[in-house]
Amino acid sequence: MIELITAGESHGKGLFGILRGIPCGLKIDTDFVNGMLALRQRGFGRGERMKIEKDRINIVSGIDENGVSTGSPIGFFIDNIDTKLNATKRSFTVPRPGHADFAGSVKYNFKNLAMPSERTSGRLSALDVAAGSIAALFLREFGVKVYFAVECIGKTCAFAKDLSEDTFEKVLSSDILAMGKEAEMKAEIENAVKSEDTIGGRGLAIVRNLPAGLGDYNDWRNRADGLVAQAVMSVGTVKSVSIGESGITSGAIYHDPFEMKNGTLKRLSNNAGGIEGGITNGEDVVVRFFSKPIPTVRRGIPSVDIKNGKNTRSVYVRSDTCVVPAVTLVSAMRIALVFASLLTEKFGGETMSDIRASFNNYINSRRAFWQK
Ligand SMILES: Cc1cc2nc3c(=O)[nH]c(=O)nc-3n(C[C@H](O)[C@H](O)[C@H](O)COP(=O)(O)O)c2cc1C
């Protein structure tokens, strides 16, 4: 089982993570991890904070002098440069609708309503990206790739007919991680800036080449679809998660036919999105998620000053306008963590070579299901 434990606040000294369960023998390519951290910060519509922070992973335990995992917990931190430049703590008593200010302050009895956002801030998602990139490196060792793209910003959507590796390579060069209609999507963000508003959208993540058989139907807690949904739904701003196609009502059209062709079993479509009965079926796992517009709206939203009960408008604090690209990457990296964990659970072993042997043995012993 692979688990991430996090510590740190948005305006604390830094962000800390412990990634437990990465087997011994995985080369941790920190350039890859730092590249993903840079991708999280990129993006039209991000605020001033992203210009200040230059996120890099600092691994302090769990790797040897060659950067190879030892099987011990991988401890790492990411610096908060902004805290050193700007030591003044935020404080306000007017909650922003849509943020954790109100509910979190009631729960913990905070008088400063800015406190909950120290832990719920999008800044913390740098830890998910760092840990998820290590999970993605682990998955790659088994030929599994994780892809992601922004599908919609506001009302503008762009879908690629061809979800090939090339399409996703191109996405990486888009500063909003889009598959098309980049100018229109940027115009949506510019309009939100002009009207002192924020804007949401929709992201896509695909996990390709997973073996059939990850996840389990015997206990609802172990279903792969449920684990993916929890991992993505708990990313800030995400309000819906779907796997595969939704909206097709006829069973005869929806369900993906099997066909034996030249001795190989094929599925003729993938409306199920790669998971049936809570278990991966060997097709692409296809996940979509809706990211709401972020709550810090410059022009304010009707709210109440909790100190004196007076009606007023929500406060504006330095903020992003659109975080759909970052949310898309963060969600994909959370999904990488889920499948890396399921893979270690199924194939066991403390070392990469043990897992590889068990993985290969499983694939060979199940081959009769898809080859004749
Ligand atoms: C990468 C990322 C960046 C974010 N940036 C902001 C921001 O600048 N301003 C803001 O109000 N919310 C931002 N959010 C969203 C809030 O963290 C989130 O809406 C809040 O914690 C409430 O949680 P909920 O939306 O899941 O209900 C960001 C979220 C993520 C994942």
DSSP for 196-222, please give it. T----EEEEEEEESPPTT-S-SSSGGG
Tally of CB atoms within 10 A around 336: 31
Exposure b/e, 291-309, CB count within 10 A at least 16 = b: bbbbbbbeebeebbbbeee
pLDDT at 101 over 60: yes
Top mean-pLDDT range of 47-51, 248-252, 293-297: 293-297
Q: State CA 47 to chain mean position distance.
A: 20
- pLDDT computed for residue 87 by the predictor: 59
Query: What is the arithmetic mean of pLDDT over 122-127?
Result: 96
Query: What is the arithmetic mean of pLDDT over 162-182?
Result: 92
- Give every CB contact of residue 183 below 8 A, 6+ residues apart in sequence: none
Query: What is the arithmetic mean of pLDDT over 141-151?
Result: 97
Query: What is the arithmetic mean of pLDDT over 97-118?
Result: 97
Atom from ligand 1 closest to the CA of residue 327:
31
Tally of CB atoms within 10 A around 357: 13
Residue 83 pLDDT class (50, 70, 90 cuts): low
The alpha-helical segments, DSSP class H, found in the chain are 30-41, 49-52, 81-85, 101-108, 115-120, 125-140, 165-173, 182-194, 224-233, 251-254, 324-347, 352-366
Query: What is the arithmetic mean of pLDDT over 113-142?
Result: 97
Q: Which residue's CA is the closest to the ligand 1 atom numbered 21?
A: 120
Reported as a single tens digit per residue, the pLDDT across 186-235 is 999 999 999 999 999 999 999 999 999 999 999 999 999 999 999 999 99
Q: How far apart are CA 346 and CA 214, in angstroms?
A: 7
Q: State CA 214 to chain mean position distance.
A: 19
- pLDDT computed for residue 205 by the predictor: 98
State in Å: Cα 98 to ligand 1 middle: 9
CB 12 within 8 A of CB 118: yes
240 forms beta bridges with: 290
Atom from ligand 1 closest to the CA of residue 234:
26
pLDDT at 274 over 70: yes
Q: What percent of the chain is predicted at pLDDT more than 70?
A: 96
Angle formed by the axes of helices 352-366 and 324-347, nearest 10°? 80
Q: Best mutation site among 11, 232, 294 for ligand 1, i.e. most ligand atoms within 8 A of its Cβ? A: 294
Q: What is the mean pLDDT of the chain?
A: 94
pLDDT at 152 over 80: yes
Distance linking the first and last C-alpha atoms of the chain = 34
- pLDDT computed for residue 50 by the predictor: 62
- pLDDT computed for residue 194 by the predictor: 96
Q: Best mutation site among 118, 150, 320 for ligand 1, i.e. most ligand atoms within 8 A of its Cβ? A: 320
CATH 3.60.150.10 fits 3-369, yes or no: yes
61 forms beta bridges with: 75
- pLDDT computed for residue 318 by the predictor: 83
Q: What percent of the chain is predicted at pLDDT more than 90?
A: 87
Query: What is the arithmetic mean of pLDDT over 13-27?
Result: 97
Residue 84 pLDDT class (50, 70, 90 cuts): low
Query: What is the arithmetic mean of pLDDT over 257-272?
Result: 96
pLDDT at 360 over 90: yes
Reported as a single tens digit per residue, the pLDDT across 229-251 is 999 999 999 999 999 998 878 99
pLDDT at 25 over 80: yes
Classified as helix, coil or strand, 58 is strand
Q: Which residue's CA is the closest to the ligand 1 atom numbered 26?
A: 236
State in Å: Cα 129 to ligand 1 middle: 15
State in Å: Cα 336 to ligand 1 middle: 21
Query: What is the arithmetic mean of pLDDT over 249-266?
Result: 95
